């Protein structure tokens, strides 16, 4: 039962982290960021805006890490046609709450997305 609870909690926190980032990119920074499960499954991108892909993960050498170690493929290996933006969260000691991307890093990501040509939300459509 503990393994089941752990997996459910881990997946919930992952969803919450992605939703938080997506919401901040759209509402605070006006980026037309989106999510689609097929983009996540096939391209390993958690968020996209136009042709700009964003990969979000917690660093873990057994699962996924910056240097390509781990059992999960990095977004840039699956998508050689583009250079995806990466948000890698360093593991934290806190338990019982999601590890969210901080506001400064979100602002930096939004600026990088705009620099790469990510579309903005049209006025009045947010």
Domain boundaries, the chain: 2-115
pLDDT digits (tens, 9 = 90+) for 47-71: 999 999 999 988 877 777 666 677 7
Cβ(49)–Cβ(34) under 8 Å? yes
pTM: 0.85
Residues 7-11 have a mean pLDDT of: 81
Q: Which residue has the higher pLDDT, 63 or 40?
A: 40
Cβ(100)–Cβ(20) under 8 Å? yes
Token digits of residue 43: 């391209």
Q: What is the pLDDT of residue 25?
A: 97
């Amino acid at each position: 039962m503990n393994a089941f609870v752990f997996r459910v909690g881990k997946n919930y926190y992952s969803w919450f982290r992605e939703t938080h980032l997506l919401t901040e990119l759209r509402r605070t920074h006006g980026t037309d960021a989106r999510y689609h499960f097929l983009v996540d499954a096939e391209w390993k991108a958690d968020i996209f805006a136009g042709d700009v892909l964003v990969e979000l993960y917690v660093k873990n050498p057994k699962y996924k890490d910056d240097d390509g170690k781990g059992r999960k493929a990095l977004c840039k290996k699956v998508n050689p046609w583009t250079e995806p933006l990466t948000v890698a969260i360093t593991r934290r000691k806190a338990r019982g709450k999601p590890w969210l991307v901080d506001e400064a890093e979100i602002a930096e990501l939004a600026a990088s997305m705009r620099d790469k040509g990510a579309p903005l939300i049209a006025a009045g459509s947010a």
